[in-house]
A = this chain, B = another copy of it.
Amino acid sequence: MKAFSLLMSEKDFHSITTAEIARTAEVTEGLIYKYFKDKKDLLYQVLNEHFFEFQAKIENRIANEKTCIEQLEVIIFSSLESYTANRIFSKILLLEVRNSLDFFESCAYEMVRKYTTTILSIIEKGIETGELKPETDPHILRKVILGAIEHACLGEIIFGREFDIDETSTGIANIVFNGAKA
């Protein structure tokens, strides 16, 4: 997994060969298949490992906030932070796993679901308490928030283009909560 992560920072999943992984890990190719079902399984496991830490950190932070808007701001900030701090994790999650249907049956996807479900319930609570407009569609608000986060990170992952997390985070929150219309 360490060898694979290293290679993932250099090139994309498909151009990494099993021979290369074995050579980097200083074992033989066959051994990989003692521990992993296939190459994709290795990918998912690496994703899982990173995602676990991400999940733990973010849930902790959410618990510290009171208002719905503050919680969502924490989610936006923490997601951006995690994505930029861990390029391999981001690359796998945003670019690699999605084009294979079997990911959506993996346990890693279960964690993604849990995370997005949390977001949805925060939004719903916000509408109930009157923090958010009553006509807000929770699913659409979630799509806007998640889409914005992911799109913001793509440039970084693909081109290595850096961005200011604070600035982007408050920028997204500002548009999503206050709107861009004058």
Interface residues of A (CB under 8 A from B): 12-14, 69, 95-96, 98-101, 104, 130-137, 140-141, 143-144, 146-152, 154, 158-159, 167-168, 171-172, 174-182
Report yes or no: A175 in contact with B69, Cβ–Cβ below 8 A.
no
Report yes or no: B180 in contact with A133, Cβ–Cβ below 8 A.
yes
B-side contacts of A130, CB under 8 Å: 182
Q: Give the Cβ gap from A65 to chain B, nearest Cβ, in Å.
A: 15
Q: Which of B98, B144, B168, B181 is A178 in contact with, Cβ under 8 Å?
A: B181
Closest to A179 in B: B179
A148 CA / B148 CA spacing, docked (Å): 6
Tell me what chain A mostly uses at the interface: helix, strand, loop, or mixed.
helix
Given contacts A140-B175, A176-B144, contact A101 B12 (CB under 8 A): yes
B-side contacts of A140, CB under 8 Å: 148, 152, 168, 171-172, 175
Report yes or no: B158 in contact with A101, Cβ–Cβ below 8 A.
yes
Q: Pick from A99, A100, A130 the residue with the most CB of B within 10 Å.
A: A99
B-side contacts of A135, CB under 8 Å: 174
A95 CA / B150 CA spacing, docked (Å): 13
Q: Give the Cβ gap from A68 to chain B, nearest Cβ, in Å.
A: 10
B-side contacts of A134, CB under 8 Å: 182
Q: Pick from A100, A131, A137, A179 the residue with the most CB of B within 10 Å.
A: A179
Contacts A/B (CB < 8 Å), 21 sampled: A14-B14, A14-B100, A95-B98, A132-B181, A132-B182, A135-B174, A140-B148, A143-B148, A143-B152, A143-B168, A144-B144, A144-B176, A146-B151, A147-B147, A147-B149, A148-B148, A175-B176, A177-B179, A177-B181, A178-B181, A179-B179
